[in-house]
Amino acid sequence: MYSLAWPWVLAVLPLPFLVRRFVAEAGAVQEAGLRVPGFGGFSMLQDRAAAEQLLNWRFWAAALAWVLLVVAAARPEYVGDEVDVPVSGRNLMLAVDLSGSMDQQDFVLGNTRVDRLTATKAVASDFISRREGDRIGLILFGERAYLQVPLTLDRETVKALLLEAFIGLAGEKTAIGDAITLAVKRIHEQEQDAGEQVLVLLTDGANTAGEVDPLKAAELAQQIGLRVYTIGIGAEQLEVSSLIGGRRQINPSADLDEATLTQIAEMTGGRYFRAKDTAGLQDIYRLVDELEPVDEPESGFRPVRSLYHLPLAGAFALAALLCLASLLRGLRVRLAMRERAHAR
């Protein structure tokens, strides 16, 4: 439906009429230098002038411009149908490992063998798309941990910046403790927003860098109620070429510290998951969805679209038309006077 945000502004609509009616009469009385006994003739002239004014298109254009200007000031708007919006109040941080080992190509996406980070981007992007109503942040870590996206409801931005990440951006080593500590800091800054606090941390190795021990960081997370879900990524078997010819099996996840990741999750009330392939990684993120469900719509709002620019544009257009007409009228008068002067 259509409505006015400030309908009381319409009270000024008769202002030009009142100004013309009372201020003009007062000025006429003060400027009169001679009292005339009879006003009958003047009344006729005034009536004729008023009639001519009513027939003048400029009068109606100016009146319409004033009405449109007042309507624009009253802020017309269109109020749409009520829309339900899920608002969970959950703060959800994603921490993604960008260390050098994430370039190991032991995952398959479609029919193509890809590295661990590429598979993570594909699966995590779908996960982010499903988290409607959550404030989502993104931490990228390697030798150091960096906040790539602060907590926000803009899921598209989080996905875009995740897809732009590349291996080695934060260094070649792995600072798991620093990543958790950074998440704790950012979550703690959002304490005024009540709700669940969750960190999903994905890595393929052990803590080999950073200033904070992972278990000490887990204690800090526990103190502020930050629940940490850890994901160990990487295949357990990979066939590679042997130096002496032929093929041999290796364990590309030999450096994965599952014990520490499990302890971090247990200390904070979360869970540890093991992702050995793309399907397993997808199942893990779906399970996280089940453990941390998106809330059902609790509150609704009506989208409001402001329309004040439409009458405002109309008022400006009429004002420009009146100015143009006045300029043309003045030009015609000057041309007529010049022709008269030449005729004499």
Q: Do 126 and 274 share a domain, yes or no?
A: yes
Query: Residue 284 phi/psi, 5° resolution?
Result: -65, -45
Task: Please determine, for residue 241, whether its predicted confidence score (pLDDT) is greater than 70.
Answer: no
Q: What is the edge-to-edge ordering of all strands in the sheet holding 135-141?
A: 145-152, 135-141, 91-97, 197-203, 226-233, 272-275
Residue 264 and residue 133 share a domain: yes
pLDDT tens profile 313-334: 988 998 888 888 888 888 887 8
User: 230 and 280 in one domain?
Assistant: yes
Whichever domain contains 214, its CATH number is: 3.40.50.410
Task: Output 22 or 267, whichever has higher pLDDT.
Answer: 267
pLDDT at 179: 95
**pLDDT band, very low/low/confident/very high, at 34 (cuts 50, 70, 90):** very low
More confident: 26 or 145: 145
- If asked whether residues 182 and 67 sit together in one domain, one would say no
**Residue from 181, 117, 108, 185 nearest 151 by CA:** 185
pLDDT of residue 93: 92
Collect all residues with Cβ–Cβ distance below 8 Å to 295 and sequence separation of at least 6: 86, 87, 88, 89, 133
Q: Are 95 and 201 in contact (CB under 8 A)?
A: yes
**Is the predicted pLDDT of residue 41 greater than 50, yes or no?**
no
Query: What is the count of structural domains for the chain?
Result: 2
- Does this model's pTM top 0.85? no
pLDDT given for residue 45 in this prediction: 47
Report, as an integer, the average pLDDT of 161-179.
Answer: 91
My answer on whether 199 and 234 are in the same domain is yes
315 and 267 both lie in a single domain: no
* pLDDT average, residue stretch 205-210: 89
Same domain, residue pair 112 and 48: no
Indicate whether 28 pLDDT > 80: no
The token pair that represents 253 in the structure block? 């996840």
Query: Do 44 and 190 reside in the same domain of the chain?
Result: no
| Of the residues 282, 299, 316, the one at which a domain ends | 299
Pair (272, 316) in one structural domain: no
Alpha helix stretches (DSSP H) within the chain: 15-18, 24-31, 40-55, 57-73, 116-130, 155-164, 176-188, 214-223, 258-268, 278-291, 309-343
Phi and psi of 8, rounded to 5°? -65, -20
DSSP state of 102: G
Query: What range does the domain containing 213 cover?
Result: 85-299
Q: Are residues 63 and 135 in the same domain?
A: no
Helix (H) or strand (E) holding 249: strand 247-250
Q: Residues 124, 272: one domain?
A: yes
Checking if the pLDDT of 157 tops 90, the result is yes
Residues 45 and 129 in one domain: no
Contact 197, 133 (CB under 8 A): no
Is the per-residue pLDDT at 25 higher than 70? no
pLDDT score, position 84: 54
Task: Mark which of 263, 282, 299 sits at the end of a domain.
Answer: 299
Answer with the residue of higher pLDDT: 222 or 110.
Answer: 222
Which CA distances in Å does 329 have to 51, 61, 63, 337? 21, 16, 20, 12
